[in-house]
A and B are shown apart, each in its own frame.
Chain A
Amino acid sequence: MSMPKIELNNVKKSFGNKVVLDGVDLTVNKGESMVIIGGSGTGKSVMLKSVLGLITPDSGSIKIDGQKITTYSQKQRDGLMGQFGMLFQGGALFDSMPVWQNIAFGLIQSKKMGRDEARAIACKKLQQVGLNANTGDMYPAELSGGMQKRVSLARAIATNPDIIFFDEPTTGLDPIMADVINDLIVNCVKDLGATALTITHDMASARKIADKVAMIYEGKIIWSGDVSALYDSGNSYVEQFIHGRAEGPITKHANFKA
């Protein structure tokens, strides 16, 4: 079996007294689309940001292509970032620059590409996410939420990354736009042959874009498997979450603690 693309081993992280990640183990193979599901506050975002290097875990190891990145220097980390693309939950577009510069940002700033060449690529990426080239001259604040998400996706794929991270890509969108974004994600990831790691609590989205699904609960991965096995997981926590029931072990547990 080939080397896993992303591998997390017993990753722990606490903020003050609050344990957010309590020993996460996760393996994502090359070219696979892994979706992490879980409720709010279960540590999804912290896990994603740990892999990205925006948060340093307290203990445990995170490996990309078999290389332990938790001990990387700033310089090695900057190099590693070149392989990553990230779609932020709120878009996180730079509102001080027009759309095309947002998309071309990584190309100009870290790949040192000329502005004209970068602009041409930005236009191509805009078309790839279903926007016309005129949008390139607009500012992010002038766009609707769905369009911002598309631009954000274009920025994430602009540098042809190996690994793309999606932080709740469909949150805040209407169901139709959410499905459009899901389709775009599936196509973009397939086109690039990239590995994808997505966190979401939107089950429709998870079903559509996942090859594999893992559920995180109280800082641990409590179930993982193929997306086809998700609906007969036999795990009562997973059952409650994917069907969105108010009654079940998750809420019961929470009430006990409260």
Chain B
Amino acid sequence: MSIETIKNYKLTHMAQNLCQSIGAALLGFFQSIGALAMFIGKAASHCFRPPFYPRLILKQFIDIGYYSLPVVGMTALFTGMVLALQSYTGFTRFNAEGAIAGVVALSVTRELAPVLAGLMVAGRVGASIAAEIGTMRVTEQIDALVTLSVNPFKYLIAPRVIAGTLMLPLLVLTADIIGIYGGYIVSIYNLGFSSGSYVEQTWDILTKIDVLSGLYKAAVFGFIVSMMGCYHGFNSGRGAQGVGTATTYAVVSASILILIFNYILTQVFFS
């Protein structure tokens, strides 16, 4: 064999290898998208078909909704406060201090409350769902459910998805109020605005769609967070490492999806 043919052979071999790994990666990617889509379809359909487990749904309402209040409330409060402060330092340059109330109200209801609450809940709830269901998978508790004639989709997943989707809008509504109140506190006590005109400006600028769009977003984000937690937990790998990885994936994928869907939904609502 001449050196030339050997070189050619090596080159084709490399090209083949490259194509092979790209192909394998693509196949893997589509396979996981397909698996996820099937999981979501199955999980969502079980949310509407009996038997239901009201006791478990109630427990998830409390776990996901009530216990997330402090972290979401703190996030909203300080976001509203810093927003007022930042707008003030910026807007005084254009003598536009009067717009602060509006900026705080619109930013909080449309964007910051749903997105930040979604991200905080992804960290708090998404992680705990993935870790809990992942541990149940690893210790065969999910198999045990099946052998006791209980469908894990109905027993474990449906209550969490229902609670996530319904509770996040309520959390965001609370965050809206607290966030705007945070802006109010800074504006009145720190920047010396008059209380009456600040409240009036807030009411003037807010429309129904500002608040509602935020709540719709919140429902979608709640669905994403609980679904990602369930999916990654349910398909957790073996052992402590498997559960750790599942938890990481749940939080990361939920956070990224929240940001992507936030853009898509904003486009849908305001264009």
Does B139 contact A110, Cβ atoms closer than 8 Å? Answer: no
Asked if B200 lies at the interface with its beta carbon under 8 angstroms from chain A, I say no
* Interface positions of B from 142 to 165, Cβ below 8 Å from A: 143-144, 146-151, 155
* Interface positions of B from 126 to 154, Cβ below 8 Å from A: 139-141, 143-144, 146-151
Among residues of A, the one whose C-beta sits closest to the C-beta of B146 is A54
Q: Given the complex, which residues of B lie within 8 Å of A100, measured CB to CB? A: none
Does B149 contact A92, Cβ atoms closer than 8 Å? Answer: no
The smallest C-beta distance from B143 to any residue of chain A, in angstroms, reads 5
Asked if A88 lies at the interface with its beta carbon under 8 angstroms from chain B, I say yes
Does B151 contact A78, Cβ atoms closer than 8 Å? Answer: yes
* Interface positions of A from 54 to 111, Cβ below 8 Å from B: 54, 74, 78-79, 81-82, 84-86, 88-95, 105-106, 109-110
Does A88 contact B151, Cβ atoms closer than 8 Å? Answer: no
Q: Given the complex, which residues of B lie within 8 Å of A54, measured CB to CB? A: 143, 146-147
Q: In whole angstroms, what is the CA distance A110 to B145 when docked?
A: 10
Q: Given the complex, which residues of B lie within 8 Å of A84, measured CB to CB? A: 147
Asked if A186 lies at the interface with its beta carbon under 8 angstroms from chain B, I say no
Interface residues on B, range: 10 to 19
Q: In whole angstroms, what is the CA distance A79 to B149 when docked?
A: 7
Looking at B139, B146, B149, the one whose CB has the most chain A CB atoms below 10 A away is B149
Does B144 contact A92, Cβ atoms closer than 8 Å? Answer: yes
Q: Give how many A-B residue pairs fall within 8 Å (CB-CB).
A: 52
Does B143 contact A88, Cβ atoms closer than 8 Å? Answer: yes
Q: Given the complex, which residues of B lie within 8 Å of A52, measured CB to CB? A: 143, 146-147
Q: Given the complex, which residues of A lie within 8 Å of B149, measured CB to CB? A: 78-79, 81-82, 106, 109-110
Q: In whole angstroms, what is the CA distance A74 to B151 when docked?
A: 10
Asked if A49 lies at the interface with its beta carbon under 8 angstroms from chain B, I say yes
The smallest C-beta distance from A158 to any residue of chain B, in angstroms, reads 9
The smallest C-beta distance from B145 to any residue of chain A, in angstroms, reads 8
Q: In whole angstroms, what is the CA distance A75 to B143 when docked?
A: 17
Q: Given the complex, which residues of A lie within 8 Å of B139, measured CB to CB? A: 90-92
Q: Chain A 178-192, CB within 8 Å of chain B: the 1/0 string?
A: 000000000000000
Does A49 contact B141, Cβ atoms closer than 8 Å? Answer: no
Q: Given the complex, which residues of B lie within 8 Å of A86, measured CB to CB? A: 143-144, 147
Q: Given the complex, which residues of A lie within 8 Å of B144, measured CB to CB? A: 86, 88, 92-94
Does A109 contact B140, Cβ atoms closer than 8 Å? Answer: no
Interface residues on A, range: 20 to 34
The smallest C-beta distance from A258 to any residue of chain B, in angstroms, reads 23
Does B148 contact A106, Cβ atoms closer than 8 Å? Answer: yes
Q: Given the complex, which residues of A lie within 8 Å of B147, measured CB to CB? A: 52, 54, 81, 84-86
Does A92 contact B143, Cβ atoms closer than 8 Å? Answer: yes
Q: In whole angstroms, what is the CA distance A111 to B171 when docked?
A: 38
Q: Given the complex, which residues of A lie within 8 Å of B146, measured CB to CB? A: 52-54, 81
Does A110 contact B141, Cβ atoms closer than 8 Å? Answer: no
Among residues of A, the one whose C-beta sits closest to the C-beta of B147 is A86
Q: In whole angstroms, what is the CA distance A78 to B147 when docked?
A: 8
Q: Given the complex, which residues of A lie within 8 Å of B155, measured CB to CB? A: 109
Q: In whole angstroms, what is the CA distance A193 to B146 when docked?
A: 23
Q: In whole angstroms, what is the CA distance A244 to B141 when docked?
A: 32
Does A49 contact B143, Cβ atoms closer than 8 Å? Answer: yes
Q: In whole angstroms, what is the CA distance A191 to B156 when docked?
A: 34
Q: Given the complex, which residues of A lie within 8 Å of B150, measured CB to CB? A: 105, 109-110
The smallest C-beta distance from B154 to any residue of chain A, in angstroms, reads 10
| A49-B143, A89-B140, A92-B141 known, 6 other contacts, Cβ within 8 Å | A52-B146, A54-B143, A78-B149, A95-B141, A109-B149, A110-B148
- What is B's interface to A at a CB cutoff of 8 Å? 139-141, 143-144, 146-151, 155
- What is A's interface to B at a CB cutoff of 8 Å? 49, 52-54, 74, 78-79, 81-82, 84-86, 88-95, 105-106, 109-110, 155, 159
Can you report 28 residue pairs joining A to B where beta carbons are below 8 Å apart?
A49-B143, A52-B143, A52-B146, A54-B143, A54-B147, A74-B151, A78-B149, A81-B148, A82-B149, A85-B147, A86-B147, A88-B140, A88-B144, A89-B140, A90-B140, A91-B139, A92-B140, A92-B143, A92-B144, A93-B144, A95-B141, A106-B148, A106-B149, A109-B148, A109-B150, A109-B155, A110-B150, A159-B148
Q: Which 5 A-B pairs have the closest CB atoms?
A: A110-B149, A92-B140, A92-B144, A106-B148, A81-B149
